[in-house]
Amino acid sequence: MNFTGILIGLATFVIIGIFHPIVIKAEYHLSKRCWWLFLLAGIVFAVLSLFVGSVMGATIAGVLAFSCFWSVFELFEQEKRVKRGWFPEKRRRNYDFDEIIPRRGTNSYEWDSAPNDDIIPLWVADMDFRTAKPVIDALRKRVDHGIFGYTRVPDEYYDAVIGWFSRRHGLHIEKDWIIYTSGVVPAVSAVIKALTVPGDRVLIQTPVYNCFFSSIRNNGCEAVSSPLRRMGNTFEIDFDDFAAKAADPKVKVFLLCSPHNPAGRVWTRAELQKMGEICMENGVTVISDEIHCELVYPGYKHIPFASLSPDFAAHSVTCVSPSKAFNIAGLQIADIVAADPGLRAKIDRAININEVCDVNPFGVIATIAAYNEGEEWLEQLISYLKGNYDFMKAFCAEKLPEFPVADLQGTYLAWMDCRVLGEKSEVLEEELMKDAGIWLNAGTMYGAEGEGWLRWNLACPRARLEEGLNRFLGFVRRRI
C-alpha cells in the first residue's frame, strides 16, 4: 500500500487548518445533507490514495480525502469554533423593537381606522415594527427598477418556501404541492369551495379567528363548533365533543387553527394526532391554517399537521404565509400546500374561480428575502414579543388580578378574561375606545364562547403596551 498520499494529505490540511482557518469558513453554512456526502467522498478518496501507484496521484487523493474529513469534522465543531472566535459568524444585527414608528397617515387599517388620534389601537393583528432589513433591502431594489408589471413566480420562490419549512419545522414539501395565492383568508375560502358543496358543514374550535366564520358562510356552508374547554389558565380540546361533531355525515371539513388564535395554544403532537385520527375515521378533510406557525415561544414547538404522517399529509391542506411573522400582510402573499394531486386539482380550480390566482411582485420578493435571510430578525422578534407577554402578565398579576390572561404559547395575541365587569364584549370594546382611548377586539368576534373576553395585540413597542395597560387600569378603577 502507498501511505504517501495519506501522510501528505494529513500534513497539508493540518498546516492549512492552523494558518488559514478562512478555508473552512466558507463551509460553515452548508446543509447537513452535504456533510454526509463529504464523508462518503472522503472515504473513497482515502481508499484511492492507498492504492494509487504514483506519488502525485496518491497525494491528490489524500488531500481531497482530508478536505472531506475536515468538512465533516466541522459539522460537529462549527458552533464551538464560532464561540471561541476561530472564525467570525455572520455579523449579528441588533434590531430595535422599542422604536416608536408613527403609522398614522400611512393608510394603516389598524391606525387610520381610529375615530381620533388619541386612541392606541391594539386590535388588528399586524405589528408596529419594521420588517427585517433583508426584506426592506430586497423590496427597495425592486422599487428602484421602476416597472411593476405582471409577475411570474420563479423557482427561487419555491426553493425558499421548501427550504424554510424543512429547516424550521421538519416539513417536507415538493414544489408541485405549492399553490400560491394572495392571502391565507382567500386560501382558506378557496379550499372550502374546493372541498364542499353548499349545505355542507365545517367543523371549527371556538373561540376562533373571526374570518373562519365568513369563509364558511360565503361558501354556503354551515359552521359546526366544538368549543375549546378552559382548564386553569389555558384551553384544551373536548375530544368527546369533537368526535361526536366530526361523526356528523354532513361535516366534510375540519378547519384547524394552529397555533390557535385567540386562545394562544400551540397544539401538541398528541393532540394533533388524535384530531387527525378522528377526522380520518370520519372522512373529514383537515384544512390547517398555520399562518402563526413561526410565532411560538420557548418551551413549545409548532408541529405542522401534514408532518405527522403521509396519510395525514394526503388528507389535509395547509395554508401558510410569511405575512404574520414578518409583518408583510399588505404585500398579499400566501401558499396552499396540498400533497394529494386530486385535492390540488380541485383547489387550483377554486383558486381560479375565486380569481385569487395572481400575486404581486413585492410579495414574491419579500417571501424569498424573509425565508432566506430573515431568521435572525425573527428570533429577536420572538424574544421581544415574549418579553411583552411577560410584562403584561406581571402587570395584570400585580394590578389587575381580576382579569386573568390566558397562557400564551404562540401568536402575539393575548386573550383576557374580563367577565368580572359583567358587560358584553362589544360594549366593552366601545366603552374602552371612548373612555380610555384604547382599541381592543371584542371576544364575540371569535364566537359566542368569547363573550366577556377581549383580545390584545402585543406586537408593539413595550412603552405603548404599558400605556395601553395603564389606560385599561384607569378604566377598570373607575368601574369597580
Structure confidence at residue 12 (pLDDT): 59
DSSP string, 229-248: EEETTEEE--HHHHHHHHT-
CA of 305: how far to CAs of 236, 278, 325, in Å? 17, 13, 19
* pTM: predicted TM-score of the whole model, two decimal places: 0.82
Tell me if 122 sits within 8 A of 459, measured CB to CB. Answer: no
CATH architecture type of domain 120-130+376-479: Alpha-Beta Complex (3.90)
Q: Which residues contact 346 (CB under 8 A, 6 or more apart)?
A: 194, 195
DSSP string, 50-88: HH-SSHHHHHHHHHHHHHHHHHHHHHHHHHHHHHHTSSP
Which residue from 234, 266, 203, 267 is spatially nearest to 410, judged by alpha carbons? 266
Could you tell me where in the chain the CATH 3.90.1150.10 domains are found?
120-130+376-479
**CB contact burial 387-401 (16+ within 10 A = b; e otherwise):** ebbeebbebbeeebe
Cell of 227: 368549543
Q: What residue ranges of the chain have pLDDT lower than 70?
A: 1-42, 44-92
Q: Cite the beta strand spans of 238-283 per DSSP E.
A: 251-257
pLDDT digits (tens, 9 = 90+) for 245-278: 999 999 999 999 999 999 999 999 999 999 999 9
Structure confidence at residue 86 (pLDDT): 43
Structure confidence at residue 316 (pLDDT): 98
Which residue from 432, 431, 405, 424 is spatially nearest to 416, judged by alpha carbons? 405
Structure confidence at residue 82 (pLDDT): 42
CA diameter of the chain: 93
Which CATH number fits the domain 133-374, given the four candidates 3.30.230.10, 3.40.50.460, 3.40.640.10, 3.90.950.10?
Answer: 3.40.640.10
The dihedral through the CA atoms of 202, 275, 261, 348 has a sign that is: negative
Structure confidence at residue 93 (pLDDT): 78
Structure confidence at residue 43 (pLDDT): 72
Tell me if 169 sits within 8 A of 304, measured CB to CB. Answer: yes
Could you tell me where in the chain the CATH 3.40.640.10 domains are found?
133-374
